[in-house]
């Protein structure tokens, strides 16, 4: 009897853990799937009645820069959806900061939005088909990094400095260093040159009559 109770308890614990893991792994029924595809964020959602597809451009939104949202809503069965779509952009935990009612155009239902601050943002999409639908997506607005052109410029400058250093080293190696020319030594046994002798000037003769 005790063994049976223990087996029942263990089975209940295992079943509870499996249900919890499934609930955590499976996305909510109203959650839009967000995937990065090249330079866009692809949005997709579907239930038994309707489908929603869309993109957010660019894939890495930055504060102060416009992003573009384009949506496509369709019915799995029945006529094409032609109604209005309402979207709301809000920071995580601050609902309904910016709400817009969209009408269909050539591209679908589209709008532009400029996020004022970085961080986690929520996108709420509402539309009416056979019944009201409200689905949600999350995306991140990040601070802009160093532009690629800056990195390329820095790499170009470093490459030029390295090239100049190599050319300077090669030039210094090719030019020979001239040694100073020394004066030739005097031949051994040769007497040193004498200075020319200066002869004294002759004394003029004295006239004896001048003493008288």
Residue by residue, DSSP assigns 69-134 as EEEEEEESSSSPP-S-EEEEEEETT-TTSEEEEE--BTTBEEEEE--SS-EEEEEEEEEESSSEEE
111 plus 90 within the same structural domain: yes
Which of 119, 141, 163 is the endpoint of a domain? 141
Residue 49 CB neighbours (<10 A): 13
Position 154 in a domain: yes
Q: What is the pLDDT of residue 100?
A: 95
Range of the domain at 121: 30-141
Position 207 in a domain: no
Residue 55 is inside which H or E element, if any? strand 50-57
156 plus 97 within the same structural domain: no
**CATH number, domain with residue 112:** 2.60.40.1930
**Residue ranges of the chain with per-residue pLDDT less than 50:** 9, 13-14, 17-26, 212
Distance (Å, rounded) from C-alpha 126 to C-alpha 134? 4
Position 109 in a domain: yes
Position 20 in a domain: no
> Which of 134, 82, 128, 126 has its CA nearest to residue 108?
82
Question: Tens of pLDDT along 98-130?
Answer: 999 999 988 899 999 999 999 999 999 999 988
Tell me the CB-side half-sphere exposure of residue 133, using CA atoms within 13 A. Answer: 26
Position 14 in a domain: no
Position 201 in a domain: no
111 plus 155 within the same structural domain: no
82 plus 158 within the same structural domain: no
Distance (Å, rounded) from C-alpha 141 to C-alpha 113? 12
66 plus 110 within the same structural domain: yes
Position 44 in a domain: yes
Q: What is the pLDDT of residue 25?
A: 44
Position 6 in a domain: no
156 plus 68 within the same structural domain: no
Distance (Å, rounded) from C-alpha 57 to C-alpha 114? 12
Total count of domains within the chain: 2
């Amino acid at each position: 009897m005790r063994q049976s109770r223990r087996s029942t308890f263990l089975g209940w614990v295992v079943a509870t853990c499996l249900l919890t893991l499934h609930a955590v792994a499976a996305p909510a029924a109203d959650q839009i799937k967000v995937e990065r595809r090249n330079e866009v964020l692809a949005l997709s959602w579907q239930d038994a009645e309707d489908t929603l597809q869309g993109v957010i451009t660019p894939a890495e939104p930055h504060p102060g820069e416009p992003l573009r949202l384009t949506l496509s809503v369709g019915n799995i069965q029945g006529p094409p959806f032609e109604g209005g779509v309402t979207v709301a952009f809000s920071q995580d935990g601050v609902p309904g900061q910016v709400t817009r009612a969209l009408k269909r155009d050539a591209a679908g239902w589209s709008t532009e939005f400029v996020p004022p601050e970085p961080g986690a943002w929520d996108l709420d999409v509402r539309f009416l088909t056979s019944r009201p639908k409200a689905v949600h997506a999350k995306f991140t607005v990040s601070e802009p990094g160093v532009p690629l052109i800056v990195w390329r410029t820095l790499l170009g400058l470093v490459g030029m400095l390295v090239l100049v250093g190599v050319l300077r080293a090669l030039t210094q190696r090719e030019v020979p260093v001239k040694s100073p020319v020394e004066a030739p030594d005097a031949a051994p046994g040769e007497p040193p040159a004498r200075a020319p002798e200066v002869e004294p000037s002759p004394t003029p003769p004295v006239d004896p009559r001048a003493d008288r």
